[in-house]
Every structure is written in C-alpha cells, then in structure tokens.
Amino acid sequence: MELLCTVLAVAGFLGTVAGADLQINSPFEGLLQLAAEKNDSLCHGHLGLVQNAMQNKEMWALKIFDSSGQPTPGFIFGNNFWLGSLTECEDVNLKLQAGVASPLKTHFIVANFRHNATIQELTGLQNEDLVTLGLCLPRSCGPEAVQPMLAALFDGGAQPLALQRKMDLSLRLTNVRGVEDNSDWLLSFKFITVMSILGLALALCVAGWIYDQTVWQPLQNERKLLANKKANNNEGVEQFHLLVEENQACKLTMSESRALHYRQSWFGKLLMCFSVSANTRALMNPIISSDSVKCIHGLRFLGMGWIIMVHTIFYLADYADNRVQAFRMAEGFAVQVVANSTLSVDTFFFISGFLVAYLYYKGEQKTRVLEKGMPARAKLILNTKRFFLMVAKRFIRLTPVYMMMVGILDVNQTKYSRTSVFNTTETAHNTCSKFWWRNLLYINNVYSRDEMVGSFEIN
C-alpha cells in the first residue's frame, strides 16, 4: 500500500512539472517550486511559508536555505558531498538574538543519489557514484514526504541543476533518511545485550582488582616472607628464630600458617583473570621465558601498529572529497608503506602459522613419552583428543572478545546511521542481525562482502 501511494505521488509530481523544465541552482529551490505548484499537504504549506519568508529576507528562513546542500566544486575530482550544514539547521530551532523567531521546527534530511557521469575520475573504490545531499526542512517534511518530491525532481533523466546540464549528469534517487538522535536505539535488544556484557566485564575487573589487592597479594607477600625465613633457618618453618627490630624471637603466626595452606578456589582464579593490576603486570613484564621466540613479539607489535594505521586511512575514503589526489599521492615512494598494506596482514598470517607449528612440535616430545607402549587405537584416540582440545582452546580464547567486537561495531554503526550525514561502505547494523552466526563459526569470509559483518577490519 505504501509503495502504491509513493508511486501515485511521484506520478502526480511528474504530471505537475512535466514541460516546466525547471532550472534551479540548488535542490532546495526545486522543492520550493514543487511545493508551490502542488500545495496539497502540510509539508507543502510549510515550504511555501519558508519561501515567502525568504522573499522577505527573514533570518530563520535564510538559515534554512543556507544550511541546505547544493553542488560544490570538485565534482570531476570525486567530490560528491552536497552536505549543507547540520549545525546551522539545528540552530534554526534556537531562539534568535535578533529578528523574528522561526515559527517552524526544522530537522535535517539526507538523500542519496546514484549518478551516471562518465566525466568523473574514478579510483576503483566502492560508492564512487554515490551523491549525498543534505536538506534542512520543516519537521512536517519527513522522509516519506520528501522522497516523492525528490524523485519527481531528478528521476526520469531530468537535469534541473546547472551542474547536471553542463556535465550531462543524471541522478537516480536511492533513499532518503532523517538525521536525528531520538535515542530510541538505546532501548534495542542488541544495545542492552552489549552494554550488559560490558558492564559485567567491568564489574569483574573491579572485583578482580579488589581480590588481587586485598587477598591474593597479601598472601603472596606472606609466602615470600616465609620463604626468606626458611632460607635463613636450617631448623624449618615450624621452629625458626628470626631476630626482628625488638631482638625477640618470632614464631609462625596465624596469617603465615594461612598463607602456607591457602588454596585458591575456581572463583578466585576467575577473578584473577580479570584483575587489572595482575594483567598490567603481565603485559608490562620485560622478562621473557627462555623457550619463547623473542622476535615474534616485535613482529606482532609492529604489525599491529601497521594494520591500525592503514585501516584508519582506508576508512577515511568514505568521507574524503579528494580521493583522486589521495591515490596520486599513494604512488610516491614515501607512501608505499600504505600502498602495500596487504603485507601487514600477511605478517599475522605468518605469526599464526609459525606459532601453531612451534607449539605443536614443542609438545610433541611430551606426547611421544605418553605414546610409548600404547596400541595404535589408543594413539589415535589420544591424538584426536589433542587436536580437538587445541582447536577448542583457541576458539574459547578468541571468540568472546571477537563477538564482543562484532556487537560493539553493530551498536556503533547503528548510532552513526541515524546521527551522521555520511554513509559508510560497510553496514554492520543491517547485516549483523542476519549473519552474526557466520562470525561465530568463523565462516564469514566465505560469503560476499555485502553480507559480511565487519569485513576485513575485525576478520
């Protein structure tokens, strides 16, 4: 039914403007002319009110016009952003210091078009033919009301803009959306789920830190003290005599006895896994075990820094209006570290394969000791169990953090899809709810990029 209404509305507009051959400087002017000719809805009436106020040079109406997007220089060079000013549009709703206050509440609308211009220089990136138009409009002109008007203005090969006529440019409307943070996404299931898990992780970090500082570290200090006492006393821990400041004999105290016999529970071990201080000590510890491959740590650090730098540049392409210039700069020698960025991923492929092989052969000696005297069937069962345990260990180690990154990406892109005038090439907020299970099973790379959640930046 909605589709039928949209088609009829577009047909009505096309019938109205047929033969009129509109020639306008900005899409906003085209909407004003269409509203003046049609004038059969609240949106049209409010646009007519804006047009009359513009003729009277009223500040609020001029702000609405000034904050709406129009063709900008650099189209041949790849500038497809006709964004306008979201901030100025929001300022219309504020009380003016001078002049007449706006009788209309405004909001910002973003419309996306596909162009067919062959004159524009291309770089091979996605969405190079996507034109983004920002419009400041009365609140009565929602996306449903604006879409048939823009379709009537540009579809069918119409070229009302001067830029279109000079460059033989046609625009095809793809979608219209509002840009407004009404915060209803905060009540979505995915946001509540992600925030609940993050909150639980934060609570475990705090609890782990408290447990580490109040229970575990004091016990460790007591054990170190006992070890020092025992080392200085040949008679053992039970009957040692260690002179203190008061030159008195010191016997085994209750706390020292507890330190000797304390056994950490599974819950205590769980809390220690989340202890911020314990993990910080482990990460910052410069001492490396003798059986580790030291150069791997350097490769991992440099490779991760390389990947972060390159992906930061890659994602700027969605918001750059000079992609051609960026690609020309990439041909220089100094930028080859970015141009050959695929090698940064290959570095981690090498590290992963090397460590799997290294750890396997490192444990092979222990396995051979266990296999001595075993029948062939028992060896097969042992090796099968060993293989699945190795896979399960890596799955359990990687999957929780990986899936949390998928959830955070989904929530983040959901917010920006509603509050940003820009469009992103990847749309995790649309694909995650459908295909998240592929990431869970690590088979997402088998499918096309349009169906992937997160694409290469987290895979």
Q: Which residue has the higher pLDDT, 218 or 86?
A: 86
Average pLDDT over residues 11-35: 69
- Rounded to whole angstroms, what are the CA distances from 91 to 60, 136, 210, 256, 352? 9, 11, 48, 69, 53
For residue 416, tell me if it sits in a domain: no
State which of 253, 270, 287 marks the end of a domain: 287
Residues 172 and 251 in one domain: no
For residue 95, tell me if it sits in a domain: yes
Are the C-beta atoms of 455 and 405 separated by less than 8 Å?
Answer: no
For residue 152, tell me if it sits in a domain: yes
Q: What pLDDT score was predicted for residue 158?
A: 83
Taking all residues of the chain, what is their mean pLDDT, rounded to a whole number?
Answer: 83
Q: What pLDDT score was predicted for residue 7?
A: 39
Average pLDDT over residues 152-179: 89
Residue 334, both tokens: 């100094």
Residues 187 and 154 in one domain: no
For residue 328, tell me if it sits in a domain: no
Q: Which residue has the higher pLDDT, 175 or 379?
A: 175
Other CB atoms within a 10 A radius of the CB of residue 337 amount to 13
For residue 319, tell me if it sits in a domain: no
Instruction: Give 279's contacts (C-beta < 8 A, 6+ positions apart).
Output: none
Under the banding of pLDDT at 50, 70 and 90, the label for residue 6 is very low
Under the banding of pLDDT at 50, 70 and 90, the label for residue 457 is low
Q: How far apart are CA 447 and CA 454, in angstroms?
A: 12
Other CB atoms within a 10 A radius of the CB of residue 206 amount to 14
Instruction: Give 120's contacts (C-beta < 8 A, 6+ positions apart).
Output: 75, 76, 78, 128, 129
Q: What pLDDT score was predicted for residue 323?
A: 83
Residues 189 and 249 in one domain: yes
For residue 31, pLDDT beyond 60: yes
Q: What pLDDT score was predicted for residue 4?
A: 40
Residues 112 and 127 in one domain: yes
Quick: pLDDT tens for 288-307.
Answer: 877 788 888 889 999 899 98
Q: What pLDDT score was predicted for residue 246?
A: 43
Domain count, the chain: 2
In which residue are the tokens 């209803």 written? Answer: 184
Q: What pLDDT score was predicted for residue 218?
A: 86
Q: Which residue has the higher pLDDT, 319 or 235?
A: 319
112-116, 242-246, 383-387: segment of lowest average pLDDT? 242-246
16-25, 372-381, 402-411: segment of lowest average pLDDT? 16-25
39-48, 126-135, 159-168, 311-320: segment of lowest average pLDDT? 311-320
State which of 240, 258, 287 marks the end of a domain: 287
User: Whole-prediction pTM value?
Assistant: 0.77
State which of 135, 161, 180 marks the end of a domain: 180
Q: How far apart are CA 138 and CA 105, in angstroms?
A: 6
Q: What pLDDT score was predicted for residue 17?
A: 47
Q: What pLDDT score was predicted for residue 326?
A: 81
3-state secondary structure labels for all residues of the chain:
CHHHHHHHHHHHHHHHHCCCCCCECCHHHHHHHHHHHHCCCHHHHHHHHHHHHHHCCCHHHHHHHHCCCCCCCCCCCCCCEECCCHHHHHHCCCCCCCCCCCCCCEEEEEEEEEECCCCCCCCCCCCCCEEEEEEEEECCCCHHHHHHHHHHHHCCCCCCEHHHHHHCCCEEEEEEEEECCCCHHHHCHHHHHHHHHHHHHHHHHHHHHHHHHHHHHHHHHHHHHHHHHHHCCCCCCCCCCCCCCCCCCCCCCHHHHHHHHCCCCHHHHHHHHCCHHHHHHHHHCCCCCCCCCHHHHHHHHHHHHHHHHHHHHHHHHHHCCCHHHHHHHCCCHHHHHHHCCHHHHHHHHHHHHHHHHHHHHHHHHHHHHHHCCCCHHHHHHHHHHHHHHHHHHHHHHHHHHHHHHHHHHHHHHHHHHHHCCCCCCCCHHHHHHHHHHHHHCCCHHHCCHHHCCCHHHCC
Residues 213 and 135 in one domain: no
Cα separation of the two ends of the chain: 41
Residues 108 and 37 in one domain: yes
Are the C-beta atoms of 79 and 37 separated by less than 8 Å?
Answer: no
Are the C-beta atoms of 64 and 46 separated by less than 8 Å?
Answer: no
Under the banding of pLDDT at 50, 70 and 90, the label for residue 5 is very low
Biggest distance spanned by C-alpha atoms of the chain: 110
In which residue are the tokens 């002049």 written? Answer: 99
- The distance from CA 147 to its chain's CA centroid, rounded to whole angstroms, is 29
Q: What pLDDT score was predicted for residue 403?
A: 93
Instruction: State the residue range of the domain holding 29.
Output: 2-180
Q: What pLDDT score was predicted for residue 255?
A: 56
For residue 421, tell me if it sits in a domain: no
Average pLDDT over residues 382-411: 90
For residue 376, pLDDT beyond 70: yes
Q: What pLDDT score was predicted for residue 236?
A: 46
For residue 249, tell me if it sits in a domain: yes
Q: What pLDDT score was predicted for residue 155?
A: 81
Q: What pLDDT score was predicted for residue 18?
A: 38
Q: How far apart are CA 352 and CA 386, in angstroms?
A: 19
Under the banding of pLDDT at 50, 70 and 90, the label for residue 286 is confident
**Phi-psi sector, 157: left (phi>0), alpha (psi -120 to 50), beta:** left
Residue 114, both tokens: 């596909």
Residues 6 and 133 in one domain: yes
Q: How far apart are CA 215 and CA 164, in angstroms?
A: 73
Residues 12 and 126 in one domain: yes
For residue 240, pLDDT beyond 70: no
Q: What pLDDT score was predicted for residue 71?
A: 93
Q: What pLDDT score was predicted for residue 290?
A: 79
- The distance from CA 408 to its chain's CA centroid, rounded to whole angstroms, is 7
Instruction: Give 6's contacts (C-beta < 8 A, 6+ positions apart).
Output: 144, 147, 148
Residues 176 and 202 in one domain: no
Quick: pLDDT tens for 124-136.
Answer: 888 889 999 999 9
Q: Which residue has the higher pLDDT, 459 or 189?
A: 189
Residues 138 and 125 in one domain: yes
For residue 314, tell me if it sits in a domain: no
Residues 44 and 66 in one domain: yes
Q: What pLDDT score was predicted for residue 321?
A: 87
Residues 125 and 189 in one domain: no
